[in-house]
Structure formats: structure tokens, C-alpha cells
Structure 1
Amino acid sequence: MINIDVFSEEKAWSKKLRKKELFFKKICSLFPKKYQFPNKSVSLTLLLSNNKCIKKLNKDFRNKNKSTDILSFPLTKKKSIAKKTYIGDIIISYDFMNKPKSQNIKNFKEKLIKTFIHGFLHLLGFDHIKDKDYTKMLNEEERIYKSVISKIN
């Protein structure tokens, strides 16, 4: 089971996402069984932020002085999940999710789901530095996304 604590420091998130914690808990409950971690307690923290904050975090922790859509901070490099495991933190920028501003709420949420899944996989040790790792991560991302989207509509 995945436990997720959701925090928001950007008021604009409330325009697109009323019940933030419920939204992300639902998304996690629609993951393929493999990523729901049955009989285990996996937890993470999600911060719904903006470009200003994410740019500062990106500079402080990754030495990149620019904003980005998502940052993931895995607690450890190892992929094994114990009975009770805190896997890390995810930060998502509202400004990136809300581009273009003309997109409808459905597209906004689909983009957010895909981005969240990407960050979640980083917490589990996936990365996209090498081409083969990129392909592996992208395939896993698509598999999870399709599983979620097929059950949401």
C-alpha cells in the first residue's frame, strides 16, 4: 500500500485540483499491483509547488539554475522495498503543469498523472541517464499510465 502526504505551497493548484490528497491516493490505488506493494507500507511526500520554488531546489540540490516540471529525491539508491519504507519526496511545478494555459482540466490532470508517475519511478531507482535506462523507464511509465487511465474514465 502506498501512503502519500500531499502539501501545497502554490494557491493556483486549488483551481485545478480540489481534493489533492484524495486525487493522488486514487492514482496510486490504480497502479498495477506490482507498484501498489501489497502487504507493505510504502510512503512518500509530494509537494505541489511553482517554478520559483522548484528553480531554487534545482539550483541547491542539482546545481541547475532553472525551473523544471518535477524533482524527485529518493531516500536511498537501492530499489528494495522493506515491510515499511519511506521512498522519498517529489516536487511538481504548477507552472509547468498548466502549460498551455488554455488546456482543459482533463488534459491538465492527464499531464499531472504522467509527471507524477515519472517522479514515482525515480523514487524507486529508475533513471534516464543512459539510453537503455531511458527506454526501460519510459516503458514502465507508459505501462503504469495506461493502467491508471484505463481505470479512471
Structure 2
Amino acid sequence: MISVEVFSEEKAWSKKLRKKEIFFKEICKFFPRKYRFPNKKITLTLLLSNNRCIKKLNKNFRNKNKPTDILSFPLSKKILISKKTYIGDMIISYNFMDKPRSQNIKNFKEKVIQTFIHGFLHLLGFDHIKDKDYKRMLSEEEKIYKSVISKIN
């Protein structure tokens, strides 16, 4: 079971996601079995933020002086999933999710789901530095997304 502790420092998130904890819990509930980790307690934190904050973090931790859609901070490079495991932190920028501003709520939520899945895989040790790793991560991302979207929509 995956537990997501959700924090928000950007008020605009509340306009699009009324019950944030429930929204992310639902996403995790519909992950394929191997990513739900049955009989285990997986925990992560999620900060719903904005471009200003995420730009600062991106500069401090990745030396990139620009905002981004998501940052993931895995607890360790090689995650060993045991009975109780804290896997790390994610930060998602509202400004990236809300583009274009004319998008409807359904598209906004789908973008958040996709971004959350991407960050989740980073917490599990996936990356996309090498081409083969990118393809592997993208393939897993698509499998998870299809599983979630088919049940949420």
C-alpha cells in the first residue's frame, strides 16, 4: 500500500483539486499490482508548489536556474522495499500543470496524474539519462498511466 502525504504551499491547487489526499490515494490505488506493493507500507511526501519555489529547489539541488514540472528526491539511489519504506519526496509545480490555462479540469488532472507517475518512478530509481533507460522508464510510465486512467475516467 502506498501512502502519500500531501502538502500545498500554492493556493491555486485548491481550485483544481479539492480533496488532494484522496486524489493521489486514488491514483496509487489503481497502479498495476507490482507498483502498489501489496502487504507493504510505502510512504512518500508530495509538495504541491509553484514555479517560484520549484525554480529555487532546481537551482539548489540540480544547478539548473529554471522552473520545471516536477522534482523527485529519492531517499536513496537503490531503493530496497521492505515492510515499511519511505521512498522520498516529490514537488509538482502548479504553473506547469495549468498550461495551457484554457485546458479543462479533466486535462489538468490527467497531466497531474502523468507527472505524478513520472516522479514516482524516479523515487523508485528509474531515470532517463541514457536512451535505453529513457525507453524503459517511458514504457513503465505508460503502463501505469493506462492502468490508472482506465479506472479514474
TM-score (norm 2): 0.99
**SS of equivalent residue, structure 1 residue 81:** coil
Per the alignment, residue 67 of structure 1 pairs with 67
Name the CA distance, whole Å, in 2 between partners of 1:65 and 1:79. 28
Per the alignment, residue 48 of structure 1 pairs with 48
Read off the aligned partner of 1:105 and give its amino acid letter.
Answer: I
- How many residues are treated as equivalent by the alignment? 153
Indicate the larger mover: 40-49 or 77-86: 77-86
Give 5+ residue unaligned stretches, structure 1: none
Read off the aligned partner of 1:129 and give its amino acid letter.
Answer: I
Name the CA distance, whole Å, in 2 between partners of 1:130 and 1:43. 28
Name the CA distance, whole Å, in 1 between partners of 2:136 and 2:80. 18
In the TM superposition, residue 95 of structure 1 has moved relative to its aligned partner by: 0.1
Stretches of 4+ aligned residues off by more than 4 angstroms: none
- After TM superposition, the structure 1 = structure 2 runs for residues 87-126 of structure 1, keeping only pairs within 5 Å, are 87-126=87-126
In the TM superposition, residue 52 of structure 1 has moved relative to its aligned partner by: 0.1
Per the alignment, residue 137 of structure 1 pairs with 137
Name the CA distance, whole Å, in 1 between partners of 2:40 and 2:17. 28
TM-score (norm 1): 0.99
In the TM superposition, residue 37 of structure 1 has moved relative to its aligned partner by: 0.3
Name the CA distance, whole Å, in 1 between partners of 2:151 and 2:21. 18
Read off the aligned partner of 1:108 and give its amino acid letter.
Answer: F
Name the CA distance, whole Å, in 2 between partners of 1:3 and 1:79. 16
**SS of equivalent residue, structure 1 residue 119:** helix
In the TM superposition, residue 79 of structure 1 has moved relative to its aligned partner by: 3.0
Name the CA distance, whole Å, in 2 between partners of 1:51 and 1:37. 32
**Could you say what the CA RMSD is over the residues aligned between the two structures, in angstroms?**
0.5
Indicate the larger mover: 73-82 or 93-102: 73-82
